[in-house]
Amino acid sequence: MPGARSSSTTVHGYAQSGDLIALQNKLEENPSLLNQKNDVMAQTPLHVAAGYNNVEILKYLFNFSGPDKVHLEATNMYGETPLHMAAKNGCGGATRLLLDHGAYVEAKANNGMTPLHLAVWYSHSAEDCLTVRTLLEYNADCSVKDNDGLAPINHLSHGPNSEKLRELLQWHLEQQRKRIAIAVCGETKAKMTQLEDAISSIIGLNDLKLQLRKWAKGMILDEKRRALGLKVAARRPPHMAFLGNPGTGKTMVARVLGRLLHMVGILPTDKVTEVQRTDLVGEFVGHTGPKTRKKIKEAEGGILFVDEAYRLIPMQKADDKDYGLEALEEIMSVMDSGKVVVIFAGYHEPMKRVISSNEGFCRRVTKFFVFGDLSTEELAQIVHLKMKSQAEDSPLYGFKLHSSCTVDAITNLLERETTEKQRKEMNGGLVNPMLVNARENLDLRLDFETADTDDLLTITIADLEGGVRSLTQ
CA-closest candidate to residue 261, choices 244, 238, 284 = 238
Total domains in the fold of the chain: 4
Percentage of the chain beyond pLDDT 90 is 56
* Same domain, residue pair 15 and 150: yes
* Same domain, residue pair 356 and 316: yes
CA-closest candidate to residue 302, choices 274, 339, 330 = 339
* Same domain, residue pair 317 and 208: no
* Same domain, residue pair 269 and 307: yes
* Same domain, residue pair 250 and 325: yes
| Domain closes at, from 201, 235, 269 | 235
* Same domain, residue pair 211 and 338: no
CA-closest candidate to residue 261, choices 360, 342, 328, 332 = 342
* Same domain, residue pair 357 and 254: yes
Q: Given strand 272-275, what is the order of strands in its sheet?
A: 272-275, 303-306, 341-346, 239-244, 365-371
Question: Do the domain assignments include residue 2?
Answer: no
Supply φ then ψ for residue 366, to 5 degrees.
Answer: -110, -5
Q: Where are the alpha helices (DSSP H) in 300-417?
A: 324-334, 351-357, 361-364, 376-388, 407-417
* Same domain, residue pair 67 and 120: yes
CB 291: neighbour CB atoms within 10 A? Answer: 20
Give me the domain span that covers residue 46.
11-155
* Same domain, residue pair 222 and 249: no
Enumerate residues 6+ apart whose C-beta is below 8 A from 447: none
Q: What whole-number distance in Å separates Cα of residue 393 and Cα of residue 374? A: 27
Whole-model pTM: value is 0.60
Low-confidence ranges of the chain (pLDDT < 50): 3-5
Question: Residue 1: what pLDDT?
Answer: 59
Q: How many residues does the chain have?
A: 473
Enumerate residues 6+ apart whose C-beta is below 8 A from 252: 202, 428
Q: Are 332 and 358 in contact (CB under 8 A)?
A: yes
Supply φ then ψ for residue 34, to 5 degrees.
Answer: -55, -45
Question: Residue 197: what pLDDT?
Answer: 77
Enumerate residues 6+ apart whose C-beta is below 8 A from 147: 111, 112
Q: What is the pLDDT of residues 410-434, one digit of tens each?
A: 999 999 999 999 888 899 889 999 9
Question: Residue 176: what pLDDT?
Answer: 83
